[in-house]
């Protein structure tokens, strides 16, 4: 059973998601408790491959109020992602060759562990965003008219 902790709503609006991948994440106990309380944000977060390891940057996890002072960490500290070597190699290759980026889509629980859903993405242009909004408005209009006729 999965339970979403944090969702990056802007990711699907700002990027074309080409492929998704699940990864584990290294967290402190106080950070897990803070995420369970809903005090995390993926706004502006991204992942990078450095020296054969994957890291998540700019993810904000607010400090847990009841945590001891020695258990606190910078809210925007880079966090290590747990992936197989083969997966890291594929990600690094895709990003370097095709100019894509790795965007976290959501954090969720799976079998008692916190997982990150990563998306390999390419940026959307303003025209793409406007087109999507136009489609949504047309669908809304159609459903409203159908509802009135019923």
d(CA 21, CA 119): 6
User: Is residue 145 in a domain?
Assistant: no
User: Is residue 136 in a domain?
Assistant: no
∠ CA 120-78-23, nearest 5°, is 40
Domain region containing 118: 2-124
User: Is residue 146 in a domain?
Assistant: no
Count of Cβ atoms closer than 10 Å to residue 68 Cβ: 8
User: Is residue 87 in a domain?
Assistant: yes
Q: Per-residue pLDDT tens for 48-99?
A: 999 999 999 999 888 888 776 666 677 888 999 999 999 999 888 888 878 7
CATH number for the domain that contains residue 59: 2.40.280.10
User: Is residue 22 in a domain?
Assistant: yes
- 82: closest CA among 121, 49, 46, 53? 53
User: Is residue 84 in a domain?
Assistant: yes
Count of residues for the chain? Answer: 150
User: Is residue 107 in a domain?
Assistant: yes
């Amino acid at each position: 059973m999965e339970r979403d902790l944090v969702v990056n709503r802007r990711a699907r609006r700002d990027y074309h998601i080409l492929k998704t991948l699940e990864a584990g994440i290294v967290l402190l106990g106080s950070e897990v408790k803070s995420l369970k309380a809903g005090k995390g944000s993926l706004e502006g977060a991204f992942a990078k491959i450095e020296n054969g390891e994957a890291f998540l940057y700019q993810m904000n996890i607010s400090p847990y109020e009841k945590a001891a002072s020695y258990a606190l960490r910078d809210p925007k500290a880079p966090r290590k992602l747990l992936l197989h070597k083969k997966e890291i190699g594929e990600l690094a290759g895709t990003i370097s060759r095709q100019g894509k980026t790795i965007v976290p889509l959501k954090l969720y629980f799976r079998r008692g562990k916190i997982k990150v859903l990563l998306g390999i993405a390419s940026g959307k242009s303003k025209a793409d965003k406007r087109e999507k909004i136009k489609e949504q408005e047309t669908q809304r209009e159609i459903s409203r008219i159908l509802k009135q006729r019923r």
